[in-house]
Amino acid sequence: MSKLRAIITGIEAYLPEYVLTNEELTHMVDTSDEWIMSRVGIKERRILKKDGLGTSFMGAEAVKKLLKSTNTNPDDIQLIVCHSVTPDMQFPATANVIADKAGIKHGWGFDTNSGCSGFLFTFETIRKFIESGEYKKIIFVCGERMSGITDYQDRSTCPLFGDAAVAMMVEPCEDDNYGLLDSILHVDGVGRKYLFQVGGGSLYPASEETVKKRMHYIHQEGQQVFRHAVVGMADVSAEIMDRHNLTADDIAYLVPHQANLRIIDATAKRMGLSKDKVLIDIQKFGNTAATSIPLALWDFRDKIHKGDLLVFSAFGAGFTWGAELYRWAY
């Protein structure tokens, strides 16, 4: 009997209407369009502006669109998993809130948090549920309101991040040539001092002092993160190709985490891929953390065809990093 594979059978996204351009950022901090484009390759990003709305709002909107486009009854959903570094609140889990807003009443769910590598880590987790044979319909949400933890007085980080949510339907496939074929995932913890949000957790609970010290925003030492990411993403992407004796000709597309154009270029070069084999939309959406890979899958959905062999690659806080080999199934 063939091994069950986890396949994506539908994908939808929610993007906030508000577009924050580089031009607008020049009026907020000391920066320029040339500076941002030359260092990270971002032209604009989407921002969820309305007060009282968070990640669950975007996630639920994406899930509603997914249920409609896949003609799925919410009662048939057995599990909903949400990855986010910007959950609505510490608890309950954002997956619970999304389920309620989307009318999913008969399944269960939970949240995950693995930084910008979270799509990879969570997809591997979901794969195990599918391979158990007990789950037929799982909704996988990646959603981030990065603007809520971005310091718009910090010129080094505020140009980077955007908001978005993507919902995917994951189902079993008996043809083991399709779906999530392999994963190589890493975490070492040594990078935790270079990229973090320290305020608001049990280590530094919210207080007047943590607010004054701006501890509830993203802190990043960009050079250190870049130095590790440019090696980590490239190495693990080449490793997964070597493990399966693949050449650049075998790969339809690299779908990288959209954090920095220079990191993406280095990864593609290490894999021997030409630019036309790399899916890039960082210029439109910025860094949407773990949402960036599925957002690219949604953005380029008309370009990807059944049977295309894809490599997903990411690097994130922790440090976390990894690559996955996936064959598109529809």
Summarised one tens digit per residue, pLDDT across range 65-121 is: 999 999 999 999 999 999 999 999 999 999 999 999 999 999 999 999 999 999 999
Gap between the Cα atoms of 303 and 238, Å rounded: 23
Q: What is the pLDDT of residue 296?
A: 98
Of 276, 6, 228, 219, the closest CA to residue 117 belongs to 228
Q: What is the pLDDT of residue 222?
A: 84
For residue 153, which amino acid is it? Q
275 burial level (CB within 10 Å; 0-12, 13-18, 19+): exposed
- The answer to whether the beta carbons of residues 329 and 173 sit under 8 Å apart is yes
The three-state secondary structure class of 262 is helix
Gap between the Cα atoms of 21 and 282, Å rounded: 13
Task: Please report which helix (H) or strand (E) contains residue 81, including its range.
Answer: strand 79-83
Low-confidence stretches of the chain (pLDDT beneath 50): none
Q: What is the pLDDT of residue 2?
A: 72
Hunting for tokens 């989407």 — which residue is that? 46
Residues catalogued as catalytic: 116, 257, 287
Question: In whole angstroms, how far apart are CA 3 and each of 129, 178, 185?
Answer: 13, 11, 21
Q: What is the pLDDT of residue 1?
A: 53
Task: Please report which helix (H) or strand (E) contains residue 187, including its range.
Answer: strand 179-187
pTM value is 0.97
Question: Tens digits of per-residue pLDDT, 102-111?
Answer: 999 999 999 9
Q: What is the pLDDT of residue 11?
A: 98
Q: List the domains of the chain with CATH numbers.
A: 5-178 (3.40.47.10), 180-327 (3.40.47.10)
